[in-house]
Structure 1
Amino acid sequence: MLTNLVILSDGHLVYFGAASSALNHFFTLGYVCPTYSNPAEYFVHLVNKDFHSQLGLDPFVRALEDSSEPQRFRVEIARDRCLGDMNLINYDLLRAMRPSRLDQFSVLLHRNLTNNWRHPGVFWLRVLMYMLLSFMVGTMYLSSNREITSSAMVPLLFYVQAFLVFMSVAALPALLEQRAVLEREVRSHALHLASYTTANLLGALPGITFISLLASIIVVYFARIHSFWSFLLNLTLSLVTSESMMHLLGAAVPHYIMGIALGAGLFGMFMLCEGFMVPFAAIPTYWKWGYYLAFHTYSFESFMYEHFSQVNTQEAWDLLKSYGMENVNVSRNMLILVGYAAVLQLAGIAVLFVRFGRHKR
């Protein structure tokens, strides 16, 4: 598996050369690797001073200096220096060792899509949960049920928007698994943080879109929610924003349990402040900042307005007025969700840079 082998012990070079020649080199020194033994383990045991405190390394060092392999390398180095630095540059190898950000992005995107497809906890379990909950919600608010009034539809819109977003915390364990690989690659100068973050987000988009499409079809069909395409766009952007929040928490916290706790706390706060439990006009002044901070606010307002404005009855408009949502700019709210997700992604890059980018070895 290895072409070349370097063995160091206590700061001294014990072997440097072809891996296939290592056994013969130590054999000439009188050390024979036992049959059925792993040569690598044998070499480590042979020269590691942790196993032999009185081990003398001089015989190994002198034997290496007197062998032909180091002499050959010295001749090659001297010859290459005479040829000049430009002839030493292997541009194909350089491109392979330091790929462009676009190449990094392409590889990472392919890796993320493959992992999301194969990992049941990242994608398929979430699809199943969203389908079951959407089916339950849709059949609970079945359009043929004449007992369901317009005011009873408000909790449906709140639940679809708030709880489906809340379930995004399920993505955190997988994000924390990826971060260990990210740290190694960044510290090795092999990866740019922008490529990683963008690939992470775009790699999650197909799954988020598929989940939103399934949930929208089920809920809109069974409960007869108005404006399917607006519902789908709103739910998709809400899930993208919540996924971006998980990316930020995944970059900041040391353990996924802490991330889940923080994410649940933030989403719980946003649910309280979004204007469903307490309408905006009744929210105490000292908590109104939470109303504007919560991205749930812009999603819930849009769900409410798109549905009840198309019901277009006096009861529906009175309901919107009671929540202070009779004049909602849905397009503006969708742009706010896009901007919210972008800010969270940039914050995630900043956190990763502070943690890993500044301390490259």
Structure 2
Amino acid sequence: MVLVNGIAYPGELLAIMGSSGAGKTTLLNTLMFKSSPNVIVSGYTALNGFPVSSGTLSSLSAYVQQDDLFIGTLTVREHLVFQALVRMDRHIPYKQRMIRVEQVITEVLTDPPLMFCDEPTSGLDSFMAQNVVSVLKAMAKKGKTVVSTIHQPSSEVFSLFDKVLLMAEGRVAFLGSTDEACTFFKQMGAACPSNYNPSDYFIELLAIIPTREDSCKQTIELICDNFQNSEIGLKIHHATEPRTDLHMQEMGMGGWMDLGSSWKVSDSKRSPYKASWWNQMRAVLWRSWLATMKEPVLIKVRILQTVLVGLLIGVIYYGQELNQDGVMNINGAIFVLITNMTFQNVFAVINVFCAELPVFKREHFNGMYRTDVYFLCKTIAEIPVFIVIPVIFISISYYIIGLNPGPERFWMAVFILTLVANVSTSFGYFISCVSSNVDMALTIGPAIIIPFMLFGGFFLNNSSVPIYFKWFSYLSWFKYANEALLINQWEGVEQIDCTASNITCPKNGLVVVETLNFSFENLDMDMLSLAGLIIGLRFLAYLALLSRTYRSY
């Protein structure tokens, strides 16, 4: 339980301190409306006495969380440009945004009047920690309200704080200036020894020692109760009582408008996003494209893999002729092409969304862009790759194998295999969006692909599929692609060489297709079905990603 009643003023740097588990980060998440669903929150967050909503507070503040989550392939400048495009008000011109990027080395990008920082000095040495806190102190002096959690600061850093909020067991043990803190604990009979870092002393005093849990909890309860009933505690309680002004009916509008004369609340308050949908689209697409292009090694490996596998399949099935053995080998080669294109593309994207999920959720909940914008941009940015790859693959293996040599047949095969590549990519997106991590995606992905592959018409004739498994074939892109490529291969083949003694040898292409229980009339429907699977799987992937935004953050 976290029971906190406190206040922070403009122009002050307030440090929230306490031992591990005291509730510091929980308090910040609650103030910023970012608590997980299993946390029950009562009370309210107010600006100048007027309760505010999550959207209003988000537009007026910046929340610097402890964990750094960035797209690793972007430079610092590119990251700042992206932030400027999606976080600054939609009516600010592009040129002014870029000027702001140049100024950001010494300032905060959106220059908000409120700042919340969760352990900004974590992992830093004492010198760097002092520099960071000095920057926060300088920002507070400009009239901002800066609230920061910090864990055992040095005495130099502690002296920089205007106010400290000491927490223990989820309660407020003290809130006031550093001098008032020393006075308060001295009156409690627990004066800080001379030549002792006050922050270390306070944290040790309010910590739970494993061998003395009961006595420590009694001490903490006594300190918290005394502060609550102290003169400072009563003043804070009175100052944080909700206002009853007529402005309250305006849902806080007007009561906090004096937070800073330089701060202008976005007139896009009807939307939680600063940037318009189109500007979000342009910014996220630009970043997604940069992230894709800035992995040249990965792209080269994909192309090299495609070339080598294409050559390998071509060499294995080299120079097939139109006879009984050739028919079986050609049909097998076609199914191998489909299978390779499926697994290659599924594994290429199966980690895309689950790997970037923490970054996406943080940026989305910070009101930077919509879920549909992120999903569309990620998929659009990768489309060129998943068009080039199948073209290279089929171009290498097609004529080496000895498939139907007509140019229109070749380009039809290219088109069909490109559809297969994008269906499998869509399936990979879906698995990535429903998986909580990469390991889970790699586990369930192949397990789901195998049944669709079995009902693709190569291992099992469609006429012998049990009725209760028939729906697998209707959802199997292997089946549609296999039928389409076989029709493309055998249509117009009037004669297949057979020995006189072999009565089971198919005489022409029509017999080959009919033997597999396929029909020449289904070519258009097969391609439409593949296109439908691309759209359907991507829509399901989007819904899965959207559902993640409603889960715990």
TM range (shorter): 0.7 to 0.9
Work out whether 1:197 is the aligned partner of 2:375.
yes
Find the partner of 2:478 among 292, 296, 312. Answer: 296
1:228-275 Cα deviation digits (max 9, x unpaired) = 111111111111111111111111111212212221112111110111
Aligned to 2:508, the other structure's residue is in SS state: helix
Range with greater deviation from structure 2 (333-342 or 54-63) = 54-63
- Cα distance in 2 between the residues matched to 1:176 and 1:5: 40
Structure ranking higher in helix proportion: 1
- Cα distance in 1 between the residues matched to 2:431 and 2:336: 23
- Cα distance in 2 between the residues matched to 1:280 and 1:145: 26
- Shift in alpha-carbon separation, 1:246–1:61, aligned structure 2, 3 A: farther
How big is the alpha-carbon RMSD for the aligned residues of Structure 1 and Structure 2? Answer: 3.8
Find the partner of 2:413 among 223, 226, 231. Answer: 231
For residues 1-361 of structure 1, the aligned pairs below 5 Å read: 6-9=13-16, 36=127, 38-39=129-130, 40=132, 44=150, 45=153, 46=158, 49=166, 58-60=176-178, 88-89=264-265, 98-119=274-295, 123-143=299-319, 149-170=326-347, 171-226=349-404, 227-313=409-495, 314-356=507-549, 358=550
- Shift in alpha-carbon separation, 1:50–1:285, aligned structure 2, 3 A: same
1:279-316 Cα deviation digits (max 9, x unpaired) = 11122223222111212111111011001114333332
- Cα distance in 2 between the residues matched to 1:206 and 1:360: 34
Contact 1:130-1:164 within 8 A present in 2 as well: no
Contact 1:151-1:319 within 8 A present in 2 as well: no
Contact 1:189-1:360 within 8 A present in 2 as well: no
Percentage of matched positions with identical amino acids: 17
- Cα distance in 2 between the residues matched to 1:167 and 1:315: 33
Range with greater deviation from structure 2 (332-341 or 297-306) = 332-341
- Cα distance in 2 between the residues matched to 1:136 and 1:224: 14
- Shift in alpha-carbon separation, 1:35–1:118, aligned structure 2, 3 A: closer
Range with greater deviation from structure 2 (214-223 or 308-317) = 308-317
Range with greater deviation from structure 2 (126-135 or 137-146) = 137-146
- Cα distance in 1 between the residues matched to 2:126 and 2:309: 61
- Shift in alpha-carbon separation, 1:5–1:248, aligned structure 2, 3 A: farther
Give the structure 1 partner of residue 222 of structure 2: none
Q: CA deviation at 1:143?
A: 2.4
Range with greater deviation from structure 2 (265-274 or 254-263) = 254-263
1:191-236 Cα deviation digits (max 9, x unpaired) = 2111112112211210001101101210123123231111111111
**Taking structure 2 as the reference length, what is the TM-score of the superposition?**
0.51
Contact 1:134-1:219 within 8 A present in 2 as well: yes
Q: State the one-letter code of the partner of 1:98.
A: K
- Cα distance in 1 between the residues matched to 2:525 and 2:433: 29
Aligned to 2:351, the other structure's residue is in SS state: helix
- Shift in alpha-carbon separation, 1:320–1:90, aligned structure 2, 3 A: closer
Q: How many pairs are equivalent?
A: 321
Q: CA deviation at 1:115?
A: 1.8
Q: State the one-letter code of the partner of 1:243.
A: T
Structure 2: runs of 5 or more not aligned: 1-10, 18-26, 29-105, 108-124, 135-147, 159-163, 182-253, 496-506
Larger radius of gyration: 2
Range with greater deviation from structure 2 (327-336 or 201-210) = 327-336
Structure 1: runs of 5 or more not aligned: 13-17, 20-33, 64-76
**Taking structure 1 as the reference length, what is the TM-score of the superposition?**
0.76
Contact 1:161-1:235 within 8 A present in 2 as well: yes
Give the structure 2 partner of residue 73 of structure 1: none
- Cα distance in 1 between the residues matched to 2:167 and 2:307: 58
Contact 2:313-2:397 within 8 A present in 1 as well: yes
Aligned to 2:384, the other structure's residue is in SS state: helix
- Cα distance in 2 between the residues matched to 1:241 and 1:326: 22
Contact 1:270-1:291 within 8 A present in 2 as well: yes
Contact 2:320-2:330 within 8 A present in 1 as well: no
Q: CA deviation at 1:6?
A: 4.4
